[in-house]
Structure 1
Amino acid sequence: ALASEVPADFARVRAELEELNRDLRARILDDDGDRGDTLGDVFRGVDLIGDSDAGRSFTAFYDMILDPARSSQIDEWIDAVLQRPFAAQLTHDQKRRFRALLTEMETAGSEVHSTMTSLSRSLRHFVQSRHYEEHRRLQRLLRSAQQSAVAVATRRRPYDLLDLDLVRVGMSIESVAALRLHNPADNLVTEPVLTHDAGTVDLDELRRLVRESEIDMDELSDNVAATLRAHGRATIGDVLREYPATQGLASAVGLMVLATHHGHAIDGTEDIHWISGAGVSRRATIRRRLFDPAADEFTARPAFAPTGSST
């Protein structure tokens, strides 16, 4: 009967150590400043859990069952007890448990020792990391709220409606059965993939598509260079009168870019004209810009008739 009570005895010791840990933490929070007795002892490295009555009693007992000489003596006592006449009345299970008494005490004692060590380390970290200061602050706030509630209780009832909006914090809890599993087969392509044979490319059509999507700056630079060689000076309007815009508005925009980078603004405005892709005549009034005849962009151009030449 006594052997069967060993696990309960160790469980009771573990509960006492955990209760002591809670009591020490409560005393640390209630200590004033950083010089309270409990807090100061922990700062000085005192193991309040190990040095308590429960801690010292358990440590002495645990050291005894771990001592080789003592454990050997306990085994001899167990053998002597089982050789007495009354032991013949014990069942096989009772004898087995009695023989394993020392092993059970060592196992249970190891668990309690680990708990005591963990509690001591946790308490020391709680103090040295100064987490207790945040706990103290939280405790003061809670007590202040309770005191305020007591003061208000004489004037307002708990179920009275207040002109106050509170943000409720919560979470939605759903059953695992409500979750829908992802099926990779849903993303599989069931229809056969069509393969198209490679065809031939019309080079002229390809050039046409490129001209529709990009401004032909080379053609525009050639036009400007040719106009400068012919007249000595040129504005955007002059170039378009000599060489109409082959790309419509895109040609006009390209000339304005060239005039910005390789020319300078002069007084006055001028009208420029072009034909849109739909065949409609368009006109715009822009600030006059004079192309620089010495710009490398134009002097490096060969002296030949540009693509958009009117001659």
Structure 2
Amino acid sequence: MSTVSTARTARRLAGEHPAWMLLRSAHAAAAVTLLGRHLAGGTRRLPETELVERLEDDIAELRRQGFTLPHSAGPQVSEWLRDGVLVRRPTVRADGGTGPEQLELSDGALAAITFVAGLTDPHPVATPTRLSIVLKTVRDVADAVEPDPESRLAALRAERARLDAEIDRVRRGAAAPLDPAGVAERVREVLALADGVPADLLRVRAALTSTDAELRRGLTESGPARDAFVDDVFRGVDHLAETPAGRNLTEFRAVLDAGEHDATAHVTRLLQAPGAAAELTPAEVAALRRLVADLRSATDDATGTLTALRRALQRAARSGDLPQEQALAGLLREAEATALELADEVPPHAPTRLTLKLGAVAPASPAGIRPHDPADDRPAPLVRPRAATTDAPTDLAALRALARSAEIDEDELRGNVNDVVARRGGATVGEVLRAHPATQGLASVVGLLSLAERHGRRDGGTEDITWSGARGSLRRARVPRHRFEEPVP
């Protein structure tokens, strides 16, 4: 890459990369400290309100010590969100669904905090332990790819001879030479390597989120590409898991699942080794104790993000309503903007003069409500059109009858009640049915009873009512007696 290209890339990163923007901000020293304290330790994610509350006290204390900071944490958190230092992540519930959003550090912000931590507490530039780890890794990789069978056999025989000598020494009861300082140094190397895992998984999650956004943009455009993607979803193809980031996460989780139990036992043995724990600081001992738990937590968070994105993408692809949903969201945003503009002119209690017709039957108990389950991503049955048997025009009367069968005609029932009340001065449900038969059968009866409960008066006792069923058969029921004494509005 040429000097000009490198400089242009650096200039672009300086203006958009969260790590660079955080380190060159006006409050970089305090920001790195505050974010590292609340989101880079044992707690990796917090609700926005809780994070603001925790920052308020720290900001006040730093201002008393001479730091120039905003008076409130809310605007500062908003600025970090705008710059990409903080990102919003939905909470993944145990059932796989998503809950309220929380804030966490972006991968760039975590890299900046780690960089500053390395400046304040630098690791030794070179140690024999680190060098031995590097050389051993190079040797293992070279042995694994050795094409010459004789050379590979020679390496395996040498390793077997070393293991045989170690087995013989243990059988003879000879104590293993223990170098507490060397063990502690190797533990520090492990902790240094493990410290970068959360940042790596954050980059994996950022890559998955970016891929998800690209796939969603493809859903909004009609064409062969979108049709092929929808077909893949119905065939069970997981595009997110097939990306490099998705495969990396799957393999990482498989390695952790296979070695988690053994790793926990190994950590216990290290902490119990004579003199080894004494060479470590209390912070290093604590980090070693929670090493496996931290790796599991970071992995579960990344896996939860992948699961939530996968399910949301499947629902969007199977519903086929993504463009309509985006259009509806745009209309809602426009309405919200208009409401904010009129907030200073229109009082909250001003009547809107708008009404919305609802069904005549209200659920009488929670059992009558069937809430929508967002986690139910099963596709709807495929609707297959049936070829017309004749070329006869559509029967408008049949369409009207079909529409009436799907909803109680409350306007008709209200007119029937008002007609009888105007002629008689009052009427019961039975008298209304005798004057105006139930054109919708049982639905008309239920609609009249609903109107009576809302606009009539309980008259005591019961009355018998009759109506014709769907096939013309006479139906009879005994219902509580209600009386309409005035027209129904």
Q: Is TM-score (shorter-chain normalized) higher than 0.5?
A: no
Higher RCO (CA 8 Å, separation ≥ 6 residues): 1
Taking structure 2 as the reference length, the TM-score comes to 0.26
- With normalisation by structure 1, the TM-score equals 0.39
